[in-house]
């Protein structure tokens, strides 16, 4: 205590209690959140091992052998799509950086985002794949009466959006996102040591199919809320067609698309054909309510369902006076495959009428947000224009065009929705058959696995 009091009095004289703000923090500037802290520091220059002009030994200087912590390099925090005008108040905080045009182009690609997820080993093929190509399975304990033996069931975990349901377990196994890989999965997956009495449910495939479809509806809900929180148009967007997230294809566009199998929209990531459900003749309401989102029994269809998805080519639309470099296009075409966009059939994607009604309702809500955005842009630029109803082939069809490019990511992120759609496509097997099977390298295991199926 005699040693502590003099030092405490000295500190009080230097920083009196009347000063409510610490000296090392400037309240006139915005201090970044603690979540933005990182270990980044300026890289230490490499040491010089030249003996000329030295007054002491080289071993006494900081070097990567004896002082490796000084030369450790740390990455800075990743850039964000949008950055608010803030100031960094301390050197240990990273200055916020906005993505460049090239980085936004990478960020707007659902396939690059899927490939950038962490790698995990598939329990069926024993191959390491990104987690977006796998289904996470975790042993969950069932509620049982007191005194009974505990039972754990292998259940899908982490398929739903984190906003609605978080992961339930830390220990998990991963399997390929393909429903045929889950047939007799109990004979192929090794039981975790933490769950010796593991039980495999016979309804596992049905449960995963339901959750993958539910994830699509959840992503639509998150996308609608994101547009509600950011309703005002930005000056850099100016309501350009490239900034449109979702729109209906006109009847003429959809007819040409079906005839030529080519889509003149380079930023398209999906086309969803979702017709409205038949409404009751008296109430004018759908026969199935939107709120029934529980797992329904299998729906029996009189006619065979169309394929869940098909791939179509995407062509770049050029202006009349735009010059084309044929040499560059020929050289790129020899290395890069042509871009393709999946067309999803709503009836095959959501066979259950309640789920399909919820999908159509969510798409219509998203269209309302797009109309609101275009209306605000036109009102701020040209004033209120006269609204005209479309006629003939200019009317909207049942096909919805989903876009993701460098302009749309500044408004909202549509990539999670495109990934959720693609995961359902992989689950049903459309991504591994026909023209879509060329993207997977080393798919011999899948061919041999399919031969063993009953």
Span 71-87, pLDDT tens digits:
777 777 788 888 776 66
Structure tokens at 164: 């609605």
pLDDT: which is higher, 54 or 253 = 253
The reported pLDDT for the residue numbered 300 is: 55
CA distances for 151 relative to 96, 168, 182, angstroms: 49, 16, 21
The phi and psi torsions of 50 (rounded to 5 degrees) equal: -80, 125
Nearest alpha-carbon partner for 311 in 446, 132, 437: 437
- Residue 6 to residue 78: CA distance in whole angstroms: 46
**Per-residue buried b or exposed e for 163-196, using 16+ beta carbons within 10 Å of the residue's own CB:** eeeeeebeebbbbbbbbbbbeebeeebeebeebe
Q: Helices 204-229 and 415-428 sit at what angle, rounded to 10 degrees?
A: 160
Q: Which helix (H) or strand (E) holds 213?
A: helix 204-229
The phi and psi torsions of 237 (rounded to 5 degrees) equal: -90, -50
- Residue 247 to residue 393: CA distance in whole angstroms: 15
- Residue 212 to residue 344: CA distance in whole angstroms: 14
pLDDT: which is higher, 363 or 79 = 363
pLDDT: which is higher, 66 or 410 = 410
Which parts of 350-443 fold into alpha helices (H)? 353-381, 415-428
Span 247-295, pLDDT tens digits:
999 999 999 988 888 888 888 999 999 999 876 545 555 554 444 455 5
Residue written as tokens 């997977």? Answer: 440
Residue count (the chain): 454
- Residue 411 to residue 160: CA distance in whole angstroms: 23
Q: Give the confidence band of 401 by pLDDT, cuts at 50, 70, 90.
A: very high
Span 81-121, pLDDT tens digits:
887 766 655 555 567 788 999 999 999 999 999 999 999 99
**Per-residue buried b or exposed e for 109-135, using 16+ beta carbons within 10 Å of the residue's own CB:** bbeebbeeeeebebbbbeeebeebbbb
Q: Which helix (H) or strand (E) holds 111?
A: helix 110-115
Nearest alpha-carbon partner for 230 in 444, 411, 63, 408: 411
- 198: which residues sit within 8 A by CB, 6+ positions away? 139, 152, 153, 154, 191, 192
Half-sphere exposure of 24 (CA within 13 A, CB side): 3
Which one-letter DSSP state was computed for residue 282? T
Q: Give the confidence band of 169 by pLDDT, cuts at 50, 70, 90.
A: confident
Nearest alpha-carbon partner for 405 in 267, 269, 313, 270: 267
| Strands annotated E in 111-203 | 119-121, 128-130, 134-141, 152-156, 173-176, 198-200
Query: Does residue 241 come out as left (phi exceeding 0), alpha (psi in the -120 to 50 range) or beta?
Result: alpha
The phi and psi torsions of 208 (rounded to 5 degrees) equal: -65, -40
Q: Which helix (H) or strand (E) holds 446?
A: helix 444-451
Q: Give the confidence band of 23 by pLDDT, cuts at 50, 70, 90.
A: very low
Mean per-residue pLDDT over the chain, rounded:
77
């Amino acid at each position: 205590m005699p040693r502590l009091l003099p030092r405490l009095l000295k500190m009080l004289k230097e920083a009196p209690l009347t000063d409510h703000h610490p000296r090392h923090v400037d309240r006139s500037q915005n201090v970044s959140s603690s979540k933005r802290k990182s270990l980044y520091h300026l890289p230490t220059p490499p040491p010089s091992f030249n003996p000329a002009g030295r007054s002491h030994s080289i071993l006494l200087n900081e070097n990567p052998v004896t002082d490796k912590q000084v030369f450790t390099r740390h990455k800075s925090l990743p850039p964000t799509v949008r950055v608010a005008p803030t100031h960094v108040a301390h050197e240990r905080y990273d200055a916020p950086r906005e993505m460049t045009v090239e980085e936004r182009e990478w960020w707007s690609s659902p396939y690059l985002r899927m490939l950038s997820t962490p790698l995990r080993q598939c329990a069926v093929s024993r191959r390491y794949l990104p987690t977006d190509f796998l289904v996470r399975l975790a042993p969950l304990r069932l509620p049982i009466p007191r005194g009974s033996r505990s039972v754990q069931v292998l259940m899908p975990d982490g398929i739903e959006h984190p906003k609605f349901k978080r992961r339930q377990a830390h220990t998990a196994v991963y399997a390929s996102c393909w429903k045929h890989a889950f047939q007799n999965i109990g004979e192929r997956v090794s039981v975790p040591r933490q769950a010796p009495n593991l039980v495999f449910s016979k309804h596992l495939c049905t449960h995963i199919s339901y959750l993958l479809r539910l994830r699509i509806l959840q992503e639509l809900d998150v996308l609608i809320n994101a547009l509600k929180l950011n309703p005002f148009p930005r000056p850099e967007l100016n309501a350009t067609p490239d900034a449109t997230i979702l729109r209906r294809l006109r009847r003429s566009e959809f007819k040409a698309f079906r005839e030529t199998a080519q889509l003149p929209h380079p930023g398209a990531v999906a086309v969803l054909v979702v017709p409205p459900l038949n409404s009751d003749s008296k109430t004018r309401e759908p026969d199935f309510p939107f709120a029934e989102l529980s797992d329904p029994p299998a729906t029996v269809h009189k006619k065979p369902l169309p394929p869940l998805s098909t791939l179509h080519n995407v062509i770049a639309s050029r202006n009349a006076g735009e010059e084309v470099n044929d040499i560059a296009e020929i050289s790129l075409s020899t290395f890069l495959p042509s871009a393709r966009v999946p067309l999803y059939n709503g009836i095959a994607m959501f066979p259950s009428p309640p789920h399909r009604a919820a999908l159509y309702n969510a798409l219509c809500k998203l269209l309302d947000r797009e109309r609101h955005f275009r209306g605000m842009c036109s009102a701020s630029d040209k004033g209120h224009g006269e609204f005209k109803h479309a006629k003939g082939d200019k009317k909207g069809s049942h096909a919805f065009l989903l876009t993701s490019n460098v302009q749309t990511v500044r408004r909202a992120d549509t990539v999670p929705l495109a990934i959720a759609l693609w995961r359902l496509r992989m689950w049903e097997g459309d991504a591994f058959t026909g023209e879509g099977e060329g993207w997977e390298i080393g798919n011999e295991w899948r061919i041999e696995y399919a031969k063993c199926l009953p």
